[in-house]
Structure 1
Amino acid sequence: MHIAEGFLPASHCIAWAVASAPFVVHGVRSTVRQVREHPENRVLLAAAGAFTFILSALKMPSVTGSSSHPTGTGVGAVLFRPPVMAFLGAVVLLFQALLLAHGGITTLGANIFSMAIVGPWVGYGAYVALRTLRTPLEVQVFFAMTLADLATYVVTSVQLALAYATPTFGAAVGKFLTIFAVTQIPLAIIEGLVGVVLFRVLRSIARPELVGLGVLPAERTVAPVPGAAHV
């Protein structure tokens, strides 16, 4: 899923870096503001970044000869909103490129755009839409993480098709989508299920933080009735 070094022309690398830069800068500001205003969420913020790092580093061979992996960006998008994930995702992708040779330095902008920008926004959009419909949190999380994953590979396919538009751009998009889709669809579904389990754990160990972030509603307290008799 990470576009490797040398797979994109220099002009494409520059264009994707320019397109991603404003989102990352805004993400830095959002992250700093989050830490300053809510220092109690620092551990959860670090956990969201670590979750993305671990899941997106799990390269799995595809039956089509490529490789694929989960993204993990839906968790941070639900907890801290997409701008924060633009920064966290950029940090994750940079370290993976430097330490794991997973993705390239010149293709960093393209990988950030697909996995750290588009993916989180699509996942967050699904989360907000389902939240508006008052669906259970598990349903919201499942679709947020599944669609964030799928959106990433769709954008990656488009990025590669733009670079290798042969014989036509449409044919190239179809070719790259086919390469990724066979493995990515079941992988995205599994990621959504993992997210459901994760949020169930967080609900039991970090409920105050989830309430503060607006993921869970505040618990209602019933005021005692004046003069009521106690039996």
Structure 2
Amino acid sequence: MHINNLTKSKFDDPNALLFRGVTAKLQPADRIALIGGSGTGKSTLLRILSLLESFEEGTIALEDRSSTEWKPHSWRRKVSYVAQKPIMRSGTVGFNLRTVSQLHNLPFDEELARKYMAAVGLGQTDWNKQAGDLSGGEQQRLALVRSLLLQPDILLLDEITSSLDPGSKQAVESLLLEWVTGQSDPSARAYVWITHDLEQARIISNQIWFMADGGLLEQAETGAFFAKPATEQARRFIQGLKEGAKSDE
């Protein structure tokens, strides 16, 4: 995916910019941690990349074809967005798992569904249970499995472990790392993952995208970014999160 000069206005003030000039490239096998303070436009950027939000300027291309040349349905088959607050369709767990197959006219792979459910700690979940009765963390994991069943090329992940206990969080991290790197063709998939957890960012990424001051200020290899951020904004951001983590201990 090629992102070129994206500019987006604020929702509550169309005359003010949320971000401007965002340019980046997402390559096969990339594991991007998208970090930055609240209100910098990280979630909006992911929604734009999934064609769920409009933008004022710039272009997005997938497989060297502009987003304007794609049908949204076909684009979202390849680029799947998983929201922080998942939306469950009215019905059972099993019905929600089959949703993507029905929407995209794909055969439902029950074996793969059960494999993913087990991997995220939901292997014992009753598929006849109403999805709306699941806890927030269970819904987050069900929404992730639902997107994985599309077998997309790119996952856009918006704080998808925010409601999870440490064990479930680690299970999700392991599954997604395996999803990118453990397949027969490890160059075929990639993800962009919003997180406010610096330790998680180190674990799940090979690159960092850092947003601040109305733009994408840094794009760097993960180790290099944490060893020596290129901007003062990033240094302050990292220090602030470290101090916040200490105060919570």
TM-score (norm 1): 0.32
> Which has the larger share of strand?
2
TM-score (norm 2): 0.31
Q: Quick one: higher RCO (CA 8 Å, sep 6+), 1 or 2?
A: 2
